């Protein structure tokens, strides 16, 4: 019998240590992916928005979008493999540590990201992104091992709350460092950019340092098994089996098809929002741009908490599917608005509206899928399929966005195309006939 089967669950220290890892790693998606890095990246392209790489003249926003899409291609391929290995040998902590350390040092490596070292810089960006998402495979899989079903919702919510608080604290600290670099001993020239580079280092150090508490207390469920060839395909086999089961569950097939369409647009818009604000909004100067973009990101985060609660309340009144239809229509109007906005105040309003429906549509999509799956012990496989579906949708969305941005030279054209995705998503959801969801 494996240790995971005889492990005594609901140990307070272990649960708190698990939740605390959210405090450690959530600084990456907020500080780097959403806030500081897009501003820094845009500031590098003052003279021209284009750069020659691999013999191709890339627009800067298209380049980072193509690279992000490629990263999610890799993630889509390795996630089932990682899940299969984790389930087989049980040594989740080793894998969690590996991706934590790789991600942390990659964030620190972004300090050397500049146009002279563009290849190395993009490599650090790539590994940081891969590491964050790959680590979540092992982090999330710990939850049913250490917590009973009665405790899982509570401790999962606690982790989310800790991650939100920790990431906002570090972002505010970095904002102070960027706005008042001399106070932190950062002197001209290019003090603001230097402060941003220190922000990347702070994320890596934060992630590395605070994760140690989690690693110290989290158990090691090592089943002492060797990794054999078949293990690498277990995850894919499970996904195939789940897909075959979906053939007889038409409501799930319809929902996942709709989810794939609107998630392609949704995730892409969220990933490129800061780049859009950096490039398409008419700021007075760089100082207003930096402050404005970070404020908009904080605004999105704060309103997203309220929006998630509001969306849950609406879904109780009219049902999940009808609520998702309304949210898709709302997102379609946001795309129209984004095409026309150009002033900072307009961007702040758009950011607030994005926050209102950002968390809600993601949380409601996941819970809607959860309600549709049949009663089975194989829920991990179903959600693995859901996860891969989402990652592939990001690949499609980011690739399409990058292609349109590269060809037309305008991010606005790419945003407008996603209007169609949300309309199609709403239409496909309207074809789902159910009274129970």
pLDDT of 126 over the 90 cut: yes
pLDDT given at position 108: 97
pLDDT band at residue 228 using 50, 70 and 90 as cut-offs: low
- Residue in the structure block whose two tokens are 């549709």: 372
Which one is predicted more confidently, 367 or 352? Answer: 352
pLDDT given at position 1: 36
Using a cut of 0.75, tell me whether the model's pTM lies above it. yes
In three-state secondary structure terms, 51 is strand
In three-state secondary structure terms, 1 is coil
pLDDT given at position 4: 42
CA distances for 422 relative to 135, 263, 333, angstroms: 30, 9, 9
pLDDT given at position 241: 74
In three-state secondary structure terms, 138 is helix
User: Residues 161-188: what's their mean pLDDT?
Assistant: 88
pLDDT given at position 86: 66
| Mean pLDDT of all residues belonging to the chain | 85
pLDDT given at position 222: 62
Taking the C-alpha atoms of residue 215 and residue 7, their distance in angstroms, rounded to an integer, is 17
Q: What is the pLDDT of residues 133-160, one digit of tens each?
A: 888 878 877 777 787 767 766 777 788 7
pLDDT band at residue 312 using 50, 70 and 90 as cut-offs: confident
Give, in degrees to the nearest 5, the angle at Cα 318 between 326 and 355: 45
9-227 classified as CATH 1.20.1250.20: yes
- Residue in the structure block whose two tokens are 């780049």: 275
- Secondary structure letter of residue 44 according to DSSP: T
pLDDT given at position 2: 42
Give which of 151, 152, 202 is closest to 176, Cα–Cα.
202
- With residues binned 3-state (H G I as helix, E B as strand, rest as coil), the percentages for the chain, rounded to 5, are 80, 0, 15
The per-residue b/e assignment along 395-420, b for 16 or more CB within 10 angstroms, e otherwise, is: bbbbbbbbbbbbeeebbbebbbbbbe
Contact criterion met (CB below 8 Å) for 426 and 328: yes
Exposed/middle/buried for residue 356 (C-beta within 10 Å: 0-12, 13-18, 19+): buried
Taking the C-alpha atoms of residue 50 and residue 59, their distance in angstroms, rounded to an integer, is 4
* Backbone Cα Rg of the chain: 22
Beta strands in 175-280 (DSSP E): none
- Secondary structure letter of residue 26 according to DSSP: T
Same fold for the domain at 9-227 and the one at 239-437?
A: yes
Domain 239-437 sits in CATH at 1.20.1250.20
In three-state secondary structure terms, 53 is strand
pLDDT band at residue 3 using 50, 70 and 90 as cut-offs: very low
Mention every residue, 6+ apart, whose C-beta is less than 8 A from residue 18: 139, 142, 143, 146, 147, 155, 159, 214, 218
- Secondary structure letter of residue 59 according to DSSP: E
In three-state secondary structure terms, 9 is coil
Which one is predicted more confidently, 199 or 365? Answer: 199
Taking the C-alpha atoms of residue 338 and residue 354, their distance in angstroms, rounded to an integer, is 11
Contact criterion met (CB below 8 Å) for 89 and 78: no
User: Residues 30-48: what's their mean pLDDT?
Assistant: 87
Q: Which two tokens stand for residue 364?
A: 């409601």
Would you list the domain boundaries of the chain? 9-227, 239-437
Taking the C-alpha atoms of residue 102 and residue 151, their distance in angstroms, rounded to an integer, is 31
Helix (H) and strand (E) counts for the chain? 17, 2
User: Residues 371-386: what's their mean pLDDT?
Assistant: 67
Q: Which two tokens stand for residue 217?
A: 């207390």
């Amino acid at each position: 019998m494996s240790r995971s089967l005889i492990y005594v669950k609901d140990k307070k220290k272990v649960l708190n240590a698990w939740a605390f890892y959210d405090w450690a790693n959530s600084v990456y998606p907020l500080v780097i992916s959403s806030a500081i890095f897009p501003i820094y990246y845009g500031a590098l392209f003052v003279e021209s928005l284009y750069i020659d790489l691999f013999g191709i003249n890339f627009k800067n926003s298209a380049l980072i979008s193509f690279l992000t899409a490629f990263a999610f291609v890799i993630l889509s391929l390795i996630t089932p493999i990682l899940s299969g290995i984790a389930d087989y040998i049980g040594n989740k902590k080793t894998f969690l540590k590996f991706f934590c350390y790789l991600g942390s040092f990659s964030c620190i490596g972004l300090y050397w990201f500049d146009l002279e070292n563009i290849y190395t810089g993009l490599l650090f960006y790539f590994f940081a992104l891969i590491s964050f998402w790959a680590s979540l495979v092992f982090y999330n899989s710990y939850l049913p091992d250490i917590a009973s079903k009665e405790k899982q919702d509570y401790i999962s919510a606690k982790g989310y709350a800790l991650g939100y608080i920790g990431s906002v604290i570090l972002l505010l600290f970095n904002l102070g460092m960027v706005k008042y670099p001399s106070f932190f001993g950062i002197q001209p020239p290019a003090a603001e950019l230097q402060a941003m580079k220190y922000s990347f280092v702070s994320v890596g150090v934060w992630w590395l340092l605070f994760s140690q508490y989690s690693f110290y207390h989290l158990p090691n469920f090592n089943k002492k098994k060797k990794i054999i060839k078949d293990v690498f395909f277990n995850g894919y086999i499970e996904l195939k089996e789940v897909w075959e089961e979906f053939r007889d569950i038409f409501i799930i097939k319809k929902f996942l098809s709709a989810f794939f369409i609107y998630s392609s647009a949704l995730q892409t818009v969220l990933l490129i929002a800061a780049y859009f604000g950096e490039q398409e909004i008419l700021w007075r100067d760089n100082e207003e741009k930096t402050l404005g973009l970070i404020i908009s990101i904080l605004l999105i985060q704060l309103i997203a908490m309220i929006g998630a609660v509001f969306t849950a309340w609406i879904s109780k009144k009219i049902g999940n599917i009808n609520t998702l239809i309304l949210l898709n229509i709302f997102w379609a109007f946001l795309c129209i608005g984004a095409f026309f906005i150009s002033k900072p105040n307009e961007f702040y309003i758009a950011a607030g509206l994005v926050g209102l429906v950002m968390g809600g549509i993601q949380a409601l999509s996941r819970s809607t899928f959860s309600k549709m799956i049949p009663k089975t012990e194989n829920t991990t496989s179903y959600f693995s399929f859901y996860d891969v579906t989402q990652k592939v949708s990001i690949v499609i969305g980011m690739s399409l966005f990058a292609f349109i941005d590269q060809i037309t030279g305008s991010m606005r054209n790419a945003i407008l195309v996603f209007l169609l995705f949300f309309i199609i998503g709403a239409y496909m959801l309207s074809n789902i006939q159910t009274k129970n969801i």
